[in-house]
Amino acid sequence: MNLMPEFFILLLSIAAVVKGADILGTAAVEIANRLNVSKIVIGATLVAVATTLPEAVVSFISGAQNEGGIAVGTVIGSPAVNLALVLGVLFLFSKPQIEKNYYTRAIYIFIFLLAVVFALSLGGSIGLIGGLLLVFLAAVYLSLEFILSKGEEHFIDQVEDRFWSIKNYFSSDHSLKISVDFFLGVLLLVFGGKFLVDSAESLAALLRVPDIVIAVSVIAFGTSLPELATAINSIIRKRISLSVGNLAGASVLDLSMALGLGTIINPATIPKVVLFVSAPILFIISLLGLILVHEKFPGKPLAAALIIIYLSYVIGFILFEICLECI
């Protein structure tokens, strides 16, 4: 198999993912404005689900094919990209104004889920019961954010009653176009992300690197490109709240929905390097993410530290796995 065709597919997939993120982000903002729903809640629910679909698809397919290493590596690597690399870039190159109550709540939920996943993994694998529990927790999280959004409507000035907003939205001449744009963005993200993962995996296979290395580095980065693209667009278009909400919500759904779907058909073995290295690093990244939103601490040095931690983690993980292969 030649490297060039796979590389060309990789570039096309990246373009599809970036364009999908732009279309979806624009449609989400329009829907939020029309329904007077907080943009940060839109990022935590609709957009978070849409941008987590690539991880969920990869996790489910790899789990169904009894390739648990790819499923676990993808859902562990993706939050590292979200909360370290993407969040670091966001705070390093901008001064985002975020809704601290929502953001800190999402990070605390992520830490809780990290503890749940750690406990479920102590037996060496996560099976059907654990997978169903994680999917259930994802549903609870989404329901919680939807309910709590009623108390956070001030983020976008609420002028009309919710029911009148819904009526006005569906009676608008542009409602169909917005809906089509939204679902088109979802489709581009899902299919673009899927082709991106496939081409990246093929390239990594040609280079003869272990599957879990592909998952933690290439696949996790590839499936997290929607978050990175949304963050970059948020910086350019000054929609920072949507991106930060998306990062937090997507990370929560990675550990719950995506990992759960990857383990409900076949049990996924949890390597010790994931249990005792990746989990503590994600915990440290989460704590730095909490510190980052407090104005008392210098934001740019912390943001740079998050980026360095992510790069060091990925490089160290790759070297560790390659060394194990050589032994």
Average pLDDT over residues 229-234: 72
**Residue ranges per structural domain of the chain:** 3-326
Phi first, then psi, for residue 39 (nearest 5°) are: -60, -35
Average pLDDT over residues 148-168: 44
Report pLDDT digits (tens) over 248-292.
888 999 999 999 999 999 998 888 888 888 999 999 999 998 888
CATH architecture of the domain 3-326 equals: Up-down Bundle (1.20)
**Model confidence at 45: pLDDT above 80:** no
- Average model confidence (pLDDT) across the chain: 79
Which pLDDT belongs to residue 66? Answer: 79
Which pLDDT belongs to residue 156? Answer: 42
Distance between CA atoms of residues 259 and 267, nearest Å: 11
**Model confidence at 21: pLDDT above 50:** yes
- The model carries a pTM of 0.79
Distance between CA atoms of residues 37 and 86, nearest Å: 25
The answer to whether residues 52 and 226 touch, using CB atoms and an 8 Å cutoff, is: no
